[in-house]
Amino acid sequence: MTEPLVFKGGPHAVVLFHGLSSTPQELQITARGLSRAGYTVILPAIRTYSWTRGDHGRPVWRQWVGDARRIYEQTVSRYESVSIGGLCIGAVLALHVAATSREAPASVICLSTTLHYDGWSLPWYRHFLPLAGWLPFGHRYRFKERWPWGVKDPRMRQWIEQQMAADGASAAGAAELGARHLLEARRLIRATRSQLPQVTSPTLVLHAVEDEVASPRSAEEVIRRVKAGRTRLVLLRDSYHMISLDREKQRVTDEIGGFLALLDPSRKDMESRRPKVVPIGRYGNI
């Protein structure tokens, strides 16, 4: 199984969940930056959720949530304060834990949140995914990942393409996704959407305007429906879905650090590093 990663820092821990059938590596650039800024960052691996070579059990979304909540609660017992977040379905997982845990996290960090699979690169036949749960052997069907591999940067895209061909996976995730995993992700999304009003922690949402997997509709829904006293929506214009690896990866790290600093008066130094917000058109904060 994929191994978790821990980047040591200060007494405020940040737990970040990677995307479905991916690995902690897709968030390690962000994690290193936050660690240098003084935060401890934990990138977990979850059985049947994280990528692993071969078949290692049937994926069940409730088990993903149970493991994620256990990791969060163990972190809470070890650190002064804990924020939780993730990328893609990892962000959905973090929102579910934030909504249902006994102790609310210090903040929630949502990167490329996927509440709707409505991005511009997805094939038209994605709408028939639910049939895989009913057809004989439908659960064995696998959806191959496609160009542009979640990134706008051509050099990063080339590297990902080479890794996919050589190893079947890269820092951007697996070369293909099983129907069972996608069906369980849909169930997790459905359960989490109903619980968004139970999220009361300060919430940061970062999303690419040109996200090819999930349009900004998902980000806007999170901001609109959570009941947090402080929220911030940042829409990026030079990235695709994998914002932790793409052209604006440094801004992603700075935005998270700046948001965390706002919640901790002793860390006002990070606030000055946050990029200025410029309102343009429909997407106000970019």
pLDDT for residue 174 is more than 90 = no
CB atoms within 10 A of CB 214: 23
Winning range, highest mean pLDDT, from 46-50, 201-205, 266-270: 201-205
User: 114-145: per-residue pLDDT in tens?
Assistant: 999 998 666 534 444 554 444 444 455 455 66
Distance CA 84, CA 185 (A): 19
Token pair in block for residue 247: 């052209």
Q: CA-to-CA distance for 173 and 154, rounded, in angstroms?
A: 17
Contact 241, 150 (CB under 8 A): yes
**Per-residue pLDDT at 221:** 98
Q: Which amino acid is at 159?
A: W
Q: Tens of pLDDT along 204-224? A: 999 999 999 999 999 999 999
Average pLDDT, the chain: 83
CA 160/CA 224 separation, integer angstroms: 34
**Residue burial 60-79, b: 16+ Cβ < 10 Å; e: rest:** bbebbbebbbebbeebbeeb
**142-144 and 176-178 beta bridge pairing:** antiparallel
Q: What is the reported pLDDT for 280?
A: 34
d(CA 135, CA 115): 25
Calculated CA dihedral for residues 69, 263, 206, 1, nearest 10 degrees: -30
Conformation bin of residue 35: beta by default, left when phi > 0, alpha when psi is -120 to 50? alpha
| Domains of the chain, first to last | 5-120+185-271 (3.40.50.1820)
- Vertex 12 angle, CA 247 and 103, to 5°: 110
Contacts of 74 (CB under 8 A, 6+ apart): none
pTM value is: 0.83
Q: For the residues 148-163, what does the mean pLDDT come to?
A: 73
235: CB partners within 8 A, 6+ apart: 206, 207, 208, 209, 216, 219, 283, 284, 285, 286
